[in-house]
Amino acid sequence: MSTYPYGGNVRANGIRQHYLRYGGARTQRDPVIIVPGITSPALTWGFVAAHLGKVFDTYVLDVRGRGLSSASDSLDYSLDAQAADLMAFATALGFERYSVVGHSMGARIGIRALRAKPAGMARLAMIDPPVSGPGRRPYPSQLPWYIDSIRQSREGMNADAMRAFCPTWTDEQLALRAEWLHTCDERAIRTSFDGFHTDDIHADLAHLRIPALLVTAGRGDVVRDADVDEIRALVPHLEHRRVHNAGHMIPWDDEAGFHAALGDFLGAPVPPLAQGGNHASQ
């Protein structure tokens, strides 16, 4: 049975923020906000949110400049603006406490938001966050990979054409990305990609006091073992779980392993998928 009741828009931090809701109100359980990565409109995370919606009241954000949220040539696409959006969204929906699951860029948004000490953010799950920044090694993906696929999607592309960019994805995953990628504003992507190299999230991590989970990809090069050690030194209470059978797009590569890695971190156990094994480890 579907856990998707509706999508909606809310005016928060001065822009239209579009979101999808899965599940429904759960007493004694904090709602979960999913913040996707650099070119992932909310709907592309629907399969994850639908599963979490069996346990939690789950919301997936369209980050500004993506999906159906506000986009324009005059909009501020900085990490600070994105972090302010997240906090304003939670306030607009009346959340007294909430958990954040941020993937890649979304994890960096959650980390930056915590620098402002939002009263309601109770937990942060950081899913393979880029650890690039001033004086650090560059993010392993290249900007043309994003820009070229976005420009093709604006002209119209199908799953077969998208396979050139995401060769390991299923037909269904490719079709959904091909359908929605054109909603990513190229200016937003360029700003966020540049921010991967100019924003210092390690300085932000030193202020992280709430429960924190780091989930990393066993087959990726975004977060290495040495990076985990550095983050753990900054966040001594950090929980870390690696999903061995996955690249950077962890739920796409190993959905069962991703949910197993979340475990009960969000306040209640995430149920296993009907099929699939536990590929996550401490």
Q: Which two tokens stand for residue 214?
A: 């780091």
pLDDT of 278 above 60: no
Closest CA to 103 of 154, 76, 151, 66: 66
What is the average pLDDT value for the chain, to the nearest integer? 94
Q: Dihedral (C-alpha) 217, 126, 142, 81: value to the nearest 10 degrees? A: 170
Contact yes or no for 147/156 (Cβ under 8 A) = no
Chain centroid to CA 264: how far?
18
Residue 281 confidence (pLDDT): 38
Confidence bin at 275 (pLDDT 50/70/90)? low
List pLDDT tens digits, range 126-149: 999 999 999 999 999 999 999 999
| pLDDT tens-digit readout, 48-68 | 999 999 999 999 999 999 999
Least confident among 122-136, 179-193, 237-251, 268-282: 268-282
Three-state SS for 105?
helix
Residue 15 pLDDT > 90: yes
**Which domains does the chain possess?**
6-143+198-281 (3.40.50.1820)
Q: Is the pLDDT of residue 207 over 50?
A: yes
pTM of the entire predicted model: 0.95
Checking if the pLDDT of 1 tops 60, the result is no
Structure tokens at 160: 């077969």
pLDDT at 276 over 50: no
pLDDT attached to residue 279: 39
Q: What is the pLDDT of residues 160-192, one digit of tens each?
A: 999 999 998 999 999 999 999 999 999 999 999
